[in-house]
Amino acid sequence: MNNNIDYDTFVRNPPNPVDFSDIFNNPLSDTLFFPSSSTSPIPNSLNISSFNVNGLKTPGQGSFKMDQISSFFSQNHISFGDIVDTHLSPKQMKFLSKRVCDYTSFHSDLDFTKHGRSFGGVSLFIHNSLATHVQFYQSHSSQILSVDLFFKGNVKLRIFVIYIPPTNNLVLRYEVIDQLISLISHTFSQNFHHAICGDFNMNLDKYYFIFLHQPQVAAKRIHKLFHYLLSHNYEDCTPLNLSGTLGTYHHLDTITHIDFVWSCPLLRQYMLTASIFDAHDLHISDHNPVITYFDVSLLSDAIKSA
């Protein structure tokens, strides 16, 4: 890696309207891992979280994991919380979702016909204070779900929840990527504020250097999704994993950043910051949730313009 590159100017943590030292109960740690707290760390904000739960299908584990997820949502005041790689059908998820109070849930279908196993299964939990704005949702596949919310002032918000299969299934992986890009492109043309969140199974930290300095390599099919997002000014503001202490996925001695909340150009102007939640003590996944915060003026602006 070229240490002379100023990555902060390329991948910014968006400027914040107030000093962090005034709004966090404790000063920001160097690792940017947030503990749970009794109050939201950022006032006047809403947030989107993403968490790969490593399946909910094992007998006895599903209920335990959902109870932990419910506590995570509640303690961190999650507005929109996705969970991915559930391996469960909508009927199964609907049953487990009863354990998560104060949230309305939406679930993808689970298709066993194409590839013979339950790759994926994604869900979005929306706090009931916002769920009344849901107008439409659609399961596009086992790996892609979208939920539309309409607010006063003709502000439309679409949230995609995705699970990109790993590289050991390239056929399905490329199929999901192509479908997702098509859906994003159509959404962009409809003037939706939109976010794409989930497990991408791609290392963004390594790709930035390629995108900046090797454009021909950056545009290859293997990098198609990241290339599309960055080329169209989408942004993930989670800190780069340069120190070796940050990460959304931990396996043995490997720490990587593969879970994201990407914001479209319309939505990114409301981004405040992002954090990685240290979920090690939950003992339910080898992933850590990522939480991205947005200025609530996204909604108040919608009302004012009505």
Please name the residue that has the structure tokens 């849901």.
134
CATH number at residue 90: 3.60.10.10
Task: Provide the β-strand partners of residue 161.
Answer: 145, 197
The answer to whether 274 and 236 are in contact (CB under 8 A) is yes
* Domain-embedded: residue 5: no
* Domain-embedded: residue 23: no
Pairwise CA distance, residues 89 & 111, whole Å: 9
Identify the three-state secondary structure at position 99: helix
Question: Average pLDDT by consecutive 10-residue portion of the chain (306 residues)?
Answer: 37 37 36 48 92 90 94 95 96 96 96 65 97 97 97 92 94 96 97 97 89 92 95 88 67 84 96 89 87 90 48
Pairwise CA distance, residues 126 & 284, whole Å: 21
* Domain-embedded: residue 8: no
pLDDT for position 153: 82
pLDDT for position 13: 38
* Domain-embedded: residue 33: no
* Domain-embedded: residue 134: yes
* Domain-embedded: residue 21: no
- Domains held by the chain: number: 1
DSSP string, 31-60: T-EEPP-SS-SSSSEEEEEEEE-S-S-STT
pLDDT for position 23: 34
Q: In the chain, which ranges are E strands?
A: 33-34, 45-52, 80-84, 103-107, 122-127, 134-139, 144-151, 155-163, 193-199, 249-251, 254-256, 259-263, 271-277, 290-295
pLDDT for position 39: 58
Q: Which amino acid is at 82?
A: D
The answer to whether 144 and 179 are in contact (CB under 8 A) is yes
pLDDT for position 9: 35
For residue 226, the enclosing domain spans: 45-304
User: Closest by alpha carbon to 276, among 229, 228, 232, 243?
Assistant: 243
* Domain-embedded: residue 107: yes
* Domain-embedded: residue 177: yes
Pairwise CA distance, residues 300 & 157, whole Å: 14
